[in-house]
């Protein structure tokens, strides 16, 4: 597996490629994704559309990628519009199960469609280059080491035969200066718990297979010039115990690299990546996300959301893939991890940062979705780990990027002794074992269970020893159950200033029992707010138990002229509560200015552990229509103007928490002021907008206003769709006659060095399967997961320029 192996690999690639390669890129082609029902073969659809079937999308059953030459863009757009319109129609006439009318043209089995686009949407949560602000460390020279601790570390290293040259610099593993500020992991190693048999996938910019520190624990992928970030993250998790650099937290565990950050990719590539080899990869370490600029509010698309649900439901043979995400580095730009659809997903474990002196680093974002913190840069030091190069180390790894992989390493240790833990057990273990820090900084709320939660620290810092001891005897939790409230209608202007607009909903014991929910885990709130400046808004949620989640905070850079559109916020702060009683959300517009808005409606979902494990179904895959609702169907929520505590945006420093509520008894919202709007649950108060929906000369069919609306909208859609499809097939027919199939990019050959280079990256980059094969001389063997292989290439549309 050295140089000759790699050469052979490249040759192998180019040979294999001559048969399957086509350099279809976004420059020459459009790509689209379809979800097909079981009875609709993708080949048939491809034939019908004159498109090329590019293959199944990762592990998503029934989801396929297709391509068409760029010259047919407008026809493709027409087609996709038509498919959408027709599904809308069927949903209305026959419900979600698609029992509506069929057109019978062979496309009735298309359940979902989306045009794909290739872009570089995600950023690393650390500048990968040495000029990064997280790497600019002015080392503190005057740290005083504790003699007894130094002796204890020496003894541990000797017992464990650790001779790695920078082990003594790895304060995050054993801190001899700030005692207790480390992962507390050496006791586990002494018990022989080192991560054997567990594989962590680093979803990043690739990693360096030539590093002598990673090679022993590594599923090979060729190295690329910008793969420093992934390499450093890998080193933290699984750097080998040898004479190179330091050791990883789980130094006998394995790592694999899934490369997504080096070039533009589309949602299908990303979906495939996070399900890649998902029976083998146990943990997916993700130190990236949408830009942390304090103005981006971005969530993964439906395809990626589905892949995540697919991962937790089917990965690891049904135990569930464990996704760990870095919380984000945007705190100094007022960013908050609830504006990021990856970190605020219930399927991910969000890890923030704490520095070696126990302080909250200025970059580290806070939010109600943050579960724990782990060590990273700050107070004049950073994480010391492996770097790109055969024997190269790095002492400036930082940002929340560096914190996430430490939590991954700890979970790898736990899984090595308890491979049966589910994705939710992993979350419980982090939460139950986390150690609260800086408990008097005013950021902590105490729950009835005695457990404490802080938006800055989550449930506390990760302690490897405590977590793994707990894992040893951990009783697996019952399946996940959930309760969705109805949509709750507010439709009221948001006052400016310190007063907020409060809206409440009562959840009864019966409702939760009926939903099979025993106790809470995550709580999500989806909401619609219209506002002319999003950054002015802040949102808090109060549980029946009086625990407050700050779901969103004000953001100075966020000038977006819209409020929250079907955005789902998440909180882990209510974990363990019963959920029974009144839930209140309070939205505020604390910037008194010309920008104002209206709180339209909201929906709350309580996720938790099932009462009865039997008969609890899995949650359906997310759908683009999950939040569809007519405002008339929303029940009118109890709404009032409330004073109440405010967390707008305070920089995340412990000293900034003085005016934060600490275990404060909740301000009685109703008492705070007079009720401003309606109280009650009537649902027919405001139908005037619909009275005038139809011009009077049109027949009403004696149906209700809403039904009339559906009927007319449906008719329009049918007409549009039929026209569109007609045009499309007409054009297709002409194309097929005109085009010689040989010209259709089926077998474009590699022209030169540059193409070969691009090819290598292409195969390596996006969960490509083929390189596993060519590297199979590795003694660990390649992944054996061949179940869903379909020989597809993972096209990423990247342009080799500038690399």
Ligand X SMILES: *[C@@H]1O[C@H](CO)[C@@H](O)[C@H](O)[C@H]1NC(C)=O
Given the residues 181, 229, 360, 574, select the one marked as catalytic. Answer: 229
Residue count, binding to ligand X (CB under 6 A): 14
- Phi–psi pair at 663, nearest 5 degrees: 50, 30
CA atoms within 13 Å, Cβ hemisphere of 132: 20
H helix count then E strand count, the chain? 17, 28
Contact pick of 139, 187, 318, 800 for ligand X (by CB under 6 A): 187
Look at the block and give the residue holding tokens 């779901």.
551
Q: Rounded to 5, what percent of the chain is helix, strand, coil?
A: 30, 20, 50
Binding marks (x or -) toward ligand X, 417..456, rule CB under 6 A? ----------------------------------------
Q: Supply the angle between the helices 464-472 and 423-433 in degrees, to the nearest 10.
A: 130
Beta carbon nearer to ligand X, 10 or 709: 709
Q: Which sign does the torsion angle of CA 210, 211, 217, 222 carry?
A: negative
Beta carbon nearer to ligand X, 174 or 218: 174
Rounded CA gap, 595 and 536, in Å? 8
Q: Give the range of 394-402, 591-599, 643-651, 767-775 binding ligand X by CB under 6 A.
A: 591-599
Is residue 105 a contact partner of residue 725, using CB atoms and an 8 Å limit? Answer: yes
Is 465 among the residues that bind ligand X (CB under 6 A)? yes
Q: Closest approach of Cβ 203 to ligand X, in Å?
A: 30
Q: Active-site residue 204, yes or no?
A: yes
Rounded CA gap, 621 and 604, in Å? 18
**Per CB under 6 A, which of residues 617..676 are in contact with ligand X?**
635
Q: Closest approach of Cβ 464 to ligand X, in Å?
A: 8
Q: Closest approach of Cβ 677 to ligand X, in Å?
A: 13
Q: Closest approach of Cβ 283 to ligand X, in Å?
A: 22
What lies within 8 Å, CB to CB, of 155 at 6+ separation is none
Residue whose C-alpha is closest to residue 545's, from 660, 665, 369: 665
**Structure letter (DSSP) for residue 498:** S
| DSSP strand pairing (537-542 vs 581-589) | antiparallel
Q: Give the range of 180-188, 310-318, 705-713, 735-743 binding ligand X by CB under 6 A.
A: 180-188
Is 596 among the residues that bind ligand X (CB under 6 A)? yes
Is 559 among the residues that bind ligand X (CB under 6 A)? no
Beta carbon nearer to ligand X, 596 or 667: 596
Q: Which sign does the torsion angle of CA 194, 196, 201, 207 carry?
A: positive
Given the residues 164, 182, 204, 387, select the one marked as catalytic. Answer: 204
Binding marks (x or -) toward ligand X, 666..695, rule CB under 6 A? ---------------xxxx-----------
Q: Which sign does the torsion angle of CA 18, 24, 27, 28 carry?
A: positive
Is 28 among the residues that bind ligand X (CB under 6 A)? no
Burial of 733 (0-12, 13-18, 19+ CB in 10 A): exposed
Contact pick of 313, 598, 648, 679 for ligand X (by CB under 6 A): 598
| DSSP strand pairing (218-219 vs 383-386) | unpaired
Q: Active-site residue 360, yes or no?
A: no
Beta carbon nearer to ligand X, 184 or 584: 184
Residue whose beta carbon is closest to ligand X: 187
Q: Give the range of 240-248, 407-415, 477-485, 596-604 binding ligand X by CB under 6 A.
A: 596-604
Q: Give the range of 145-153, 218-226, 235-243, 595-603 binding ligand X by CB under 6 A.
A: 595-603
Is 493 among the residues that bind ligand X (CB under 6 A)? yes
Q: Closest approach of Cβ 58 to ligand X, in Å?
A: 40
Q: Active-site residue 401, yes or no?
A: yes
The angle at the Cα of 325, spanning 323 to 331, to the nearest 5 degrees, equals 165
Beta carbon nearer to ligand X, 180 or 419: 180
Catalytic residue set: 204, 229, 401
Binding site for ligand X (CB under 6 A): 180, 184, 187, 463, 465, 493, 596-598, 635, 681-684
């Amino acid at each position: 597996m050295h140089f000759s192996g790699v050469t052979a690999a490249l040759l192998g690639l180019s040979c294999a490629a001559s048969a399957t390669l086509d350099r279809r890129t976004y420059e020459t082609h459009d790509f689209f994704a379809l979800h097909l029902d079981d009875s609709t073969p993708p080949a048939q659809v491809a034939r019908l559309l004159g498109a090329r079937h590019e293959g199944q999308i990762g592990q998503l059953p029934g989801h396929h990628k297709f391509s068409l030459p760029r010259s047919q863009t407008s026809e493709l757009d027409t087609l996709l519009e038509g498919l959408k319109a027709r599904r809308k129609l069927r949903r209305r006439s026959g419900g979600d199960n698609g029992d509506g009318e069929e057109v019978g043209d062979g496309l009735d089995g298309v359940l979902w469609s989306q045009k794909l686009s290739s872009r570089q949407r995600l950023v690393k949560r650390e500048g990968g280059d040495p000029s990064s602000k997280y790497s600019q460390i002015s080392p503190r020279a005057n740290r005083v080491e504790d003699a007894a601790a130094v002796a204890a570390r020496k003894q541990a290293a000797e017992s464990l035969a650790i001779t790695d040259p920078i082990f003594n610099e790895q304060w995050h593993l054993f801190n001899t200066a700030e005692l207790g500020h480390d992962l507390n992991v050496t006791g586990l190693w002494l018990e022989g718990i080192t991560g054997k048999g567990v594989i962590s996938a680093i979803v990043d910019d690739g990693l360096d297979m030539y590093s002598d520190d990673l090679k022993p624990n590594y599923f090979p992928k060729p190295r690329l010039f910008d793969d420093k970030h992934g390499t450093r993250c890998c080193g933290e998790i699984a750097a080998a115990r040898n004479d190179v650099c330091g050791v990883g937290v789980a130094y006998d565990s394995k790592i694999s690299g899934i490369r997504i950050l080096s070039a533009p990719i589309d949602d299908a590539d990303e979906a495939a990546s996070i399900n890649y080899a998902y029976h083998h990869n146990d943990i997916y370490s993700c130190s990236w996300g949408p830009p942390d600029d304090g103005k981006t509010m971005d969530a993964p698309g439906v395809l990626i959301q589905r892949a995540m649900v697919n991962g937790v439901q089917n990965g690891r043979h049904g135990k569930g893939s464990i996704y760990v995400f870095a919380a984000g580095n945007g705190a100094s730009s007022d960013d908050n991890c609830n504006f990021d659809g990856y970190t605020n997903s219930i399927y991910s474990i969000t890890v923030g940062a704490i520095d070696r002196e126990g302080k909250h680093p200025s970059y580290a974002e806070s939010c109600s979705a943050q579960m724990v913190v782990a060590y990273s840069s700050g107070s004049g030091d950073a994480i010391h780990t492996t770097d790109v190069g055969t024997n190269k180390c790095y002492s400036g790894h930082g940002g929340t990027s560096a914190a996430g992989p430490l939590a991954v390493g700890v979970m790898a240790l736990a899984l090595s002794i308890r491979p049966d833990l589910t994705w939710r057990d992993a979350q419980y273990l982090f939460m139950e074992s986390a150690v609260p820090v800086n408990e008097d900084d005013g950021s902590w709320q105490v729950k009835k269970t005695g457990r404490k939660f802080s938006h800055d620290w989550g449930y506390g810092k990760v302690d490897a020893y405590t977590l793994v001891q707990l894992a040893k005897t951990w009783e697996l939790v019952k399946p996940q159950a959930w309760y969705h409230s109805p949509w709750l209608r507010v439709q009221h202007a948001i006052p400016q200033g310190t007063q907020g607009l409060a809206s409440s909903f009562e959840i009864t014991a019966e409702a939760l029992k009926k939903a099979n929910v025993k106790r809470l885990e995550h709580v999500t709130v989806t909401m619609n707010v219209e506002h002319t400046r999003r950054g002015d808004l802040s949102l808090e949620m109060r549980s029946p138990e009086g625990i407050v989640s700050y779901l969103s905070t004000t953001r100075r850079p966020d000038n977006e002229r819209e409020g929250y559109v079907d955005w789902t916020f998440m909180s882990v702060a209510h974990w363990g509560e019963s959920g029974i009683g009144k839930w209140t959300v309070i939205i505020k517009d604390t910037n008194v200015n010309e920008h104002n808005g209206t709180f339209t409606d909201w929906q709350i979902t309580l996720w938790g552990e099932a009462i009865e494990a039997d008969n609890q179904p899995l949650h359906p895959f997310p759908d683009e229509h999950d939040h569809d609702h007519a405002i008339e169907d929303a029940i009118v929520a109890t709404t009032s103007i409330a004073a109440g505590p405010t967390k707008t945006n305070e920089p995340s420093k412990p000293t900034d928490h003085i005016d934060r509520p600490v275990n404060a008894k909740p301000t009685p919202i109703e008492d705070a002021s007079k009720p401003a709007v309606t109280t009650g649950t009537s649902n027919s108060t405001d139908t005037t907008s619909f009275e005038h929906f139809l011009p009077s000369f049109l027949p009403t069919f004696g149906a209700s206003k809403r039904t009339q609306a559906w009927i007319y909208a449906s008719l329009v859609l049918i007409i549009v769709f039929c026209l569109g499809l007609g045009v499309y097939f007409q054009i297709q027919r002409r194309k097929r006659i005109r085009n010689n199939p040989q010209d259709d990019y089926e077998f474009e050959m590699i022209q030169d060095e540059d193409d070969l280079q691009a090819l290598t990256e292409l195969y390596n980059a996006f969960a490509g399967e083929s390189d596993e094969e060519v590297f199979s001389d590795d003694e660990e063997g390649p992944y054996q997961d061949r179940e869903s292989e379909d020989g597809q290439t993972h096209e990423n549309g990247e342009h080799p320029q500038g690399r």
